[in-house]
Every structure is written in C-alpha cells, then in structure tokens.
Structure 1
Amino acid sequence: MTPASTSAPFESRRSLPFVTWFRSRLLARWYDRHLQRRDLAEIDDHLLRDLGLTPQDVRRECAKSFWRT
C-alpha cells in the first residue's frame, strides 16, 4: 500500500467531529427558529404594534418552514 492510500481513512475520521458538530448546530438553529415563530404567533396586536409589526407580517413569517430565514 502507498502512504497516500492509508491516510485517506484517517482524514475522514478527523472531519467526523466537525460534521457532527455542524449537524447539531443546524438542528438547534432550526428548533430555535421554530420556537421563535411559535412565540411570535402568540403575541397580541397591542404588542405587535409596539414592535412595528402587523398581523400580516406575523402570518407571513409563521408560514415559513423552519429551515427558511
């Protein structure tokens, strides 16, 4: 075997923690976005006016999928 062929599996093993970290961060971000939109949907009209939002703004934001910004 050549040295180049033996190092390839080790390189993929080193990237595995990054991939795992990235996936967990992505899932956490999506879940956080879901919770924020759910909370936004529960805010009453008076507080929405204070925030400068309309009910249409809230409906539009809450209609988005959790992975969309």
Structure 2
Amino acid sequence: MTARTVPHTVFVSGFGRRPFPFIILRGWHLRLLARWYDRHLQRLDLAEIDEHLLSDLGLTPEDVRRECAKSFWQA
C-alpha cells in the first residue's frame, strides 16, 4: 500500500474511497466536517499498513492502535 497525502481540498479521493459528499464548501463548519472526514479516511488507511512498512515509518503497532482508537474529531 502506498501512502497518500491529501491536500486541503475535498475533491481528492483516496484509493477507492468516496470523496467528501459536499461539492462546494462554504463556511468554517463545512470545512471542519471535511477535515474530520479526511482524518477518518487517513486513520482507515493507517490501520491497513502492514508491520514491515510501519517499522519503516518509525511506528509501532501500538502507535497505530492508539491513533486509530481516537474519534474523528480528535487530532
């Protein structure tokens, strides 16, 4: 699995994942929803990385479990 970096737009979708459902974002509350949705997708991707690649990133499986256990609104 390759890592992905997501710019601050919602028009970029992950590998086979659905983009944020809003086409035009206006206001801080919709941008916040987009950020939460993107954070959720990033944690799903992180959970799929195998242990060998995690060690290359300097992460342990415990680090991944701790990060993935967070709610989508927690940074």
Flag whether TM exceeds 0.5 (same fold).
yes
Aligned-CA RMSD value:
0.7
Output the amino acid matched with 1:51: L
| Distance apart, 1:52 and its partner CA | 0.1
- 1:23-50 per-residue CA deviation (whole Å, 9 max, x = no partner) reads 1100000000000000000000010000
Report how many aligned residue pairs link the two structures.
50
**Larger fraction in helix:** 1
In structure 1, the residue matched to 2:41 is 35
Q: Distance in 2 between matches of 1:23 and 1:67?
A: 13
Identical aligned pairs, as a percentage? Answer: 78
| Distance apart, 1:21 and its partner CA | 1.0
Matches within 5 A, 1:4-15: none
User: Given the alignment, which residue of 59, 63, 67 partners 1:57?
Assistant: 63
Q: Which has the higher contact order (CA 8 A, sep 6+)?
A: 1
- What TM-score, normalized to structure 2? 0.65
Q: Which runs of 5+ in 2 are unaligned?
A: 1-25
Output the amino acid matched with 1:67: W
